[in-house]
Structure 1
Amino acid sequence: MFSYGLFGMLIVQLFFYQFDTRDQDPTWLRVFVSVLALSELVNMIVTTIFMWEVLAQHWGDPFILLSVDSLASKTLAGIPLLSGIVATMAHSFFSWRIHRLTGSSLIPTIVMLISLTTCAMAGYCGIRAAHIGIFRLTELDVEVTIWLGGSTLCDLIISAVLVFKLLYQQKRAMSFQTRHQIHHLIALTVETSLVTTLTALFALALFILLHNDDMFFAPLLMLSQVYSNCLLATLNSRTVLNKVASSGHPLWVDLDRSRTTTSLLHTYE
């Protein structure tokens, strides 16, 4: 139910993106958002089939959790894989932001290597669970820990680097207006990163602490929607920030076209 709610929020986010900010983005970014939305649609379809088979079609039948030939077992492979793909797409987007802001490729490369590893582990967990049964997914200790722990680590690195860079630029800013805008960016970065980090960390904590239970499925099923909503919220926030600015230049577009925020600060000052 949380997944359905987050998917509804994502539709609203896509609506605002389509009519408010889409025209100012390059073609590759519009395609990126379209692929992300399509991935979430497929993920919701697969999740719906899985939950229908377990909680409706075979309600009260515990053997469905051990079956490897059921439709639920076959669709289970797609849920972690799609979740890993969406998380990696989000990490790649924010890694690109870091590269544009700092001009460095080292940290984005590290983040992407970790993220690709987590994506591979997510796909392996899904395929493996489809062969051994849903209930035995808890046997994949190392794989699940690498998957969820790696996603959490990526989120922490991304948020730390972005906040540090924005704080540095905020100290250099001379006008109150520029500092106020950067403050909004810092708050947005912390909030979105906090949501994704806590969701992945909550799933990992349930997996470790309640090892013989499947409670970690609850945050796991909505993990990809959390990443998608945070990414779209970041893109849509440009409209709000542009309304705050006295200049007509889009804030994040200027950030995209320069390796530092120096030219941006000069523009607004």
Structure 2
Amino acid sequence: MSAATLDSGAPLNNTMGSMLLGVIFSAILYGISVLQCMFYYTRYERDPMYLKFLVASTLFLDTLHLSFVVHTVYHYLISNYYENDALQAMVWSVSLEALPTGVTAGLVQSFYAHRIWRMSHGNYFSTGFVLFLILATSACGTAWVIMALQCRTYQDLLRISPLTITINALSTAADVFITMILCFMLHRSNPASLETESMVNRLILFTINTGLLTSLCAVAALVSLIISPRTLIYASFYFCIGRLYSNALLASLNARSVIRGRINDVDSNFHIKSPRGANAAATHLTRDVFVRPADDADELTVRIDRTTELYADGSYGKSKNKFMPPEIKEPESVADSDSA
């Protein structure tokens, strides 16, 4: 939450009206999350259990958060309809709603940190910096919830406004850094074909779009909090941040078949395999990506073999050796067995 203050007689359009809009948009995004969950569980049944558990956890946290914000709006606008004293007092749900939002953000950002770790083959600096931002945001968020539960009015909440701004800034920084490092790793790859290059471009565009939504929403909440701290305008954005995180996660999982083109759907998240050792800086990327590995493999790869045969004119339906000119040799198999 933030250090919003409802002064006596304050207009409801930029206070409870803003909070109500936030609940409406959050409910719409929650419905999209439910649909994406249904699609995920029916489409990617072979995914590992940790991914299925992550999706289930985000859906549960979304449900919990929505119940908290609905209770908050019902408490202020129905149970205490336009009672000025009640509008200035904080209800328990308005403080606790920050908890599922923070946990959802931490889970999704940790998922992206794991992706960075895999794509960079254990780059401690990049992964460690992302984890530092995640842990710092989680620690500040936990402290905020504890302190907010001790506040009786929104006026008391103004005392921890610096902590609120810090949480929003750290969360935004984590989103921006994750998006930048993922795009950089994809951009420096060396596609082996035009088809693979197209897939990489789709990956970069998709990564930017998913990271941009959460970043813009967090920035909007942060700016509205700084410019207008005595209103609840920020709530219109803050109530949607958790839903945007869960939708970004589900979209990245459900869009795998689209990004790969016509490559068969598989059970792993995005992963680019690059050579280890001296040539690790030059990533060689091809279509052979994202498939269930063998029991003794440590990478996620797929092999796509295509055979091209040469026939002389008029050889259709007849023996190819009989009609093949001397300069055309026996057909050879050409295997596109690049590795990603």
Question: TM-score w.r.t. structure 2 length?
Answer: 0.71
Q: Determine helix, strand or coil for the equivalent of 1:222.
A: helix
| Percent of pairs with identical residues | 23
CA, structure 1 residues 26+57, in 2 after alignment: closer, same or farther (shift >3 Å)? same
Report if aligned partners of 1:6, 1:225 keep a CA contact under 8 Å in 2: yes
Whole-Å Cα distance in 1 between the matches of residues 192 and 124 of structure 2? 29
Pairwise CA distance, 1:251: 9.0
Pairwise CA distance, 1:109: 1.9
Pairwise CA distance, 1:16: 1.0
Between Structure 1 and Structure 2, the one with more helix by share is: 1
2:139 matches 1:120: yes
The correspondence of residues 50-199 of structure 1 with structure 2, limited to 5 A, is 50-67=72-89, 73-103=91-121, 104-133=123-152, 135-136=154-155, 137-169=157-189, 172-199=190-217
Q: Which moved more, 1:137-146 or 1:224-233?
A: 137-146
Deviations 1:76-102 (A, max 9, x none): 221111111111111100000000100
Whole-Å Cα distance in 1 between the matches of residues 269 and 112 of structure 2? 14
Q: Which runs of 5+ in 2 are unaligned?
A: 1-23, 276-282, 289-302, 305-337
Q: What RMSD, in angstroms, separates the aligned Cα atoms of the two structures?
A: 2.1
Read off the aligned partner of 1:3 and give its amino acid letter.
S
Q: Which moved more, 1:58-67 or 1:84-93?
A: 58-67
Q: Which moved more, 1:213-222 or 1:185-194?
A: 213-222
Aligned partner of 2:19 in structure 1 is none
Pairwise CA distance, 1:3: 0.6
Q: Determine helix, strand or coil for the equivalent of 1:180.
A: helix
The correspondence of residues 38-53 of structure 1 with structure 2, limited to 5 A, is 38-53=60-75
Whole-Å Cα distance in 2 between the matches of residues 49 and 249 of structure 1? 41
Q: Which moved more, 1:100-109 or 1:128-137?
A: 128-137
Deviations 1:184-238 (A, max 9, x none): 1101100000000000010000011112222111111111011110111011111
Whole-Å Cα distance in 1 between the matches of residues 265 and 63 of structure 2? 34
Report if aligned partners of 2:47, 2:267 keep a CA contact under 8 Å in 1: no
Pairwise CA distance, 1:44: 1.1
Report if aligned partners of 1:76, 1:130 keep a CA contact under 8 Å in 2: no
Pairwise CA distance, 1:259: 6.3
Whole-Å Cα distance in 1 between the matches of residues 98 and 270 of structure 2? 36
Q: Determine helix, strand or coil for the equivalent of 1:35.
A: helix
The correspondence of residues 237-256 of structure 1 with structure 2, limited to 5 A, is 237-242=255-260, 244-245=261-262, 247-248=263-264, 250=266, 253=269, 255=271
Read off the aligned partner of 2:25 and give its amino acid letter.
F
Read off the aligned partner of 2:166 and give its amino acid letter.
I
Which residue, out of 192, 204, 215, partners 2:222? Answer: 204
